[in-house]
Amino acid sequence: MFKFICFIMFMCSITVFSGCVTNSIIDVNKRNLTDELVDKTDSLTEKVSEAEAEKRQAIESLRQSLSKIQQDLERETGEKNILLTQTEEGIKLTILDTVIFTPGSAEVNKKGKHLLIKVSNVVKGLNKEILIAGHTDNQPIKKAKKFYKSNWELSFSRAINVLHVFENAGVNPEDMTALGYGDIKPIVSNETIKGRRQNRRVEIIISNTIKRLNDSAEELIK
């Protein structure tokens, strides 16, 4: 009887000991997993910080490059036909229609193509979303009525033709979007000739946001 009791106590001790060992292994595994997650989080935070610093530097470099194009055109024409602004969405380059289009049409003229290629050389490879928006004044289409039913079609045709120039110059088509707003988003009143001239424009907005993470950052997120 005594031996039986001792055997039972021995088996219980083994069971308790095994349970303690198992719990210890689980605790170690939990700590290892936690440490691994902390390391990944720290690495990702570092990558994000580096990306933010690179983004600020890239934005400033982009702004300077576009500013030079703006200044060069002003010297060539003696007029301010390009406006460069910083918005919440990104850098916006506004180009008046007379600079790049044949009057009353969406056809990009020779000088306009030359200018757009300069811009495309600056923006291609940036890994950023590029929005190309066409705008018109509120005057009904007359001479080009057979080609464009309304200012909607004209504004979109101008935006898409700018997109095609960019694409042919090497800008990734997956990064670009073309929109036509017609006359619904004037920046000044259409009551004067000067105002209508300012409203006939194409806006190229280069987003502040990086479109795709680099491979190492994507791997950390997985």
Q: Return the higher-pLDDT residue of 133 and 221.
A: 133
Whether the predicted pLDDT of 216 surpasses 50? no
Tell how strand 82-86 and strand 128-135 pair up: unpaired
Whether the predicted pLDDT of 217 surpasses 50? no
Q: Decide: 92 and 85 in contact? Cβ < 8 Å.
A: yes
Percent of the chain with pLDDT over 70: 77
Q: Decide: 137 and 97 in contact? Cβ < 8 Å.
A: no
- 21 pLDDT band, cuts 50/70/90, is low
Specify the pLDDT at position 221: 37
Q: Decide: 130 and 207 in contact? Cβ < 8 Å.
A: yes
Percent of the chain with pLDDT over 90: 46
DSSP-assigned letters across all residues of 153-167: HHHHHHHHHHHHHHH
Write the pLDDT tens digit of every residue in 192-206.
Answer: 999 999 999 999 999
Mean pLDDT of 131-152: 90
Angle, helix 110-123 to helix 151-168, in steps of 10 degrees: 60
Q: Return the higher-pLDDT residue of 59 and 19.
A: 59
Phi/psi of residue 47, each to 5°?
Answer: -65, -40
Specify the pLDDT at position 146: 78
Residues in the chain, total: 222
- 34 pLDDT band, cuts 50/70/90, is confident
Domains of the chain by start residue, with CATH: 48-210 (3.30.1330.60)
Specify the pLDDT at position 218: 43
pTM as predicted: 0.71
Q: How high does pLDDT run on average in the chain? A: 82
Between CA 177 and CA 155 the distance in angstroms is 14
CA atoms within 13 A on the CB side of 144: 18
Specify the pLDDT at position 214: 47
Between CA 119 and CA 171 the distance in angstroms is 10
Write the pLDDT tens digit of every residue in 95-116.
Answer: 999 999 988 899 999 999 999 9
Write the pLDDT tens digit of every residue in 166-189.
Answer: 999 999 999 999 999 999 999 999
